[in-house]
Amino acid sequence: MENKFLQKLIEPAHTKIAMIIMDGLGGLPLEPGGKTELETACKPNLDAMAACSALGLTIPVAPGITPGSGPGHLGIVGYDPIEYEIGRGALEALGVDFELGPDDVAARGNFCSVDADGRLTDRRAGRLPTEQSRELADILRTIRVEDVEFFVEPVKEHRFAFVMRGVGLGDALSDTDPQKVGVSTLPVQALNAKSQRSACITNQFIEQACERLAGRQPANMITLRGFAKFPVMPSYSELFGLRAAAIAVNGMYRGVARLVGMQVLPVEGDTLDAEFSTLEKNWNAYDFFYLHVKKTDTAGENGDFARKVEIIEEVDSLIPRLMALNPDVVIVSGDHSSPAVMKSHSWHPVATRRCSRCGRPGGVTSYGERACARGSLGILPAKDVMPIALANAQRLSKFGA
């Protein structure tokens, strides 16, 4: 649905919407005809929501499309991920709480290892400890090229966020990471005329980085990829009239939330318990809560079916704490599938449960992919979940007379 159309129908209300997103929730059976991770999990609390729930399967981006984390999250929080494409670089910068300006060009950086001839020997410099990355970042920060300002923010291990700030810098730039060892890193190429100057400046930065890191072990070079500016997007309050808060422990998801204008709330520690405590503590101050669970995706990407089941069961055990807050609408879903058997993100639609007072339950009690395929929400684009949540929260007026 066109966002602008929806915007005209938004009405103020005192209702509260909670969205619990288990990253990579969607799964597949280990053997043909078997149960998925979600179907396997014992989840009495989620199942008990049946009487007030409607089920469906959400398509994250489009049929057959496997989403990266950015598009996956944009979809489920209500934006068309094809219309609002976020580059990897912008996500990386957002993830380390960097305040990206509208003209800044960001990229994802790796510290890497090259041999005497400049050929890559390790694309991640042996997954360099974060502490060492910090030191190297300090060295890179001393680089100057013309009047452009550079920011180098360590992320984790060998990864860093790279940002350049200047006037008239385009972001249509090619990656320098050749994605394999035994060859040299690539020079940055401008992919359009407006990015010629950025390419030239980035190449000078890389040249100086190479000189300053020379002789260091194991990281003596850098790669940059996913050059991107911050996409211009309407905010949650503009679009949906919601004071929205995000609860997430991982940078990229905090970044996406900040991008759409959610307030990112502090979490003490990285446990699910801590995330639910943050939810409880801030319940009165916001209309909408996006609570992100990372570990389901990690387990899926590691091929650990049993661990993924365990995390889903842990989330289930925390549901009573959410329900005790008496939310008007609860969405339980995922941003995409990460089936353990595939060890990666996938395109499969995701089981989605919407619980509210004025919902129309579909007569299905269990919350799993098969059940959701027969649910009363049907199989729908992820971006359509927010309008349905708003309606159930009495936040949309009638269209037309």
Residue with tokens 């990690």: 298
Residue with tokens 């069961």: 313
3-state secondary structure of 48: helix
Q: Considering only residues 27-86, where is the footprint of a second copy by CB under 8 A?
A: 28-29, 32-33, 36, 50-52, 57, 61-72, 81-82, 85-86
Q: Considering only residues 361-400, where is the footprint of a second copy by CB under 8 A?
A: 361-363, 369-370, 373-380, 384, 386-392, 396-400
What is the contact mask toward a second copy in residues 303 to 342, using x (rule: CB under 8 A)? Answer: ------------------------------------x-xx
Instruction: Quote the least distance from Cβ 231 to a second copy, whole Å.
Output: 11
The verdict on 343 binding a second copy (CB under 8 A) reads: no
What is the contact mask toward a second copy in residues 86 to 105, using x (rule: CB under 8 A)? Answer: xxx--x--------------
181-201 as b/e: b if 16+ CB within 10 A: eeeebbebebeeeebebbbeb
Instruction: Quote the least distance from Cβ 211 to a second copy, whole Å.
Output: 29
Q: Which CB, 300 or 375, lies closer to a second copy? A: 375
Paired residues of 59 in beta bridges: 381
What is the contact mask toward a second copy in residues 224 to 263, using x (rule: CB under 8 A)? Answer: --x-------------------------------------
Do 196 and 126 meet the contact criterion of CB atoms below 8 Å apart?
Answer: no
> Which residues have a Cβ under 8 Å from the Cβ of 53 and sit 6 or more positions away?
353, 354, 355, 359, 361, 367
Instruction: Quote the least distance from Cβ 117 to a second copy, whole Å.
Output: 30
Q: What is the largest CA-CA distance in the chain?
A: 74
The verdict on 200 binding a second copy (CB under 8 A) reads: no
Q: Which CB, 31 or 147, lies closer to a second copy? A: 31
Tell me the two tokens of residue 85.
Answer: 């494409």
Q: Which CB, 224 or 377, lies closer to a second copy? A: 377
**How many residues make contact with a second copy (CB under 8 A)?**
72
Q: Considering only residues 103-162, where is the footprint of a second copy by CB under 8 A?
A: 108
Q: Which CB, 8 or 14, lies closer to a second copy? A: 8
Dihedral in degrees, nearest 10, Cα atoms 376, 321, 71, 391: 40
Alpha-carbon gap, residue 47 to 17, rounded angstroms: 19
From 5-13, 155-163, 171-179, 311-319, give the range in contact with a second copy by CB under 8 A. Answer: 5-13
> Which residues have a Cβ under 8 Å from the Cβ of 215 and sit 6 or more positions away?
none
Tell me the two tokens of residue 294.
Answer: 């990372």
Residue with tokens 């339950």: 361
Task: Determine the straight-line distance between the first and last CA of the chain, rounded to whole angstroms.
Answer: 20
Instruction: Quote the least distance from Cβ 166 to a second copy, whole Å.
Output: 24
Q: Which CB, 223 or 346, lies closer to a second copy? A: 346
Tell me the two tokens of residue 345.
Answer: 């993100």
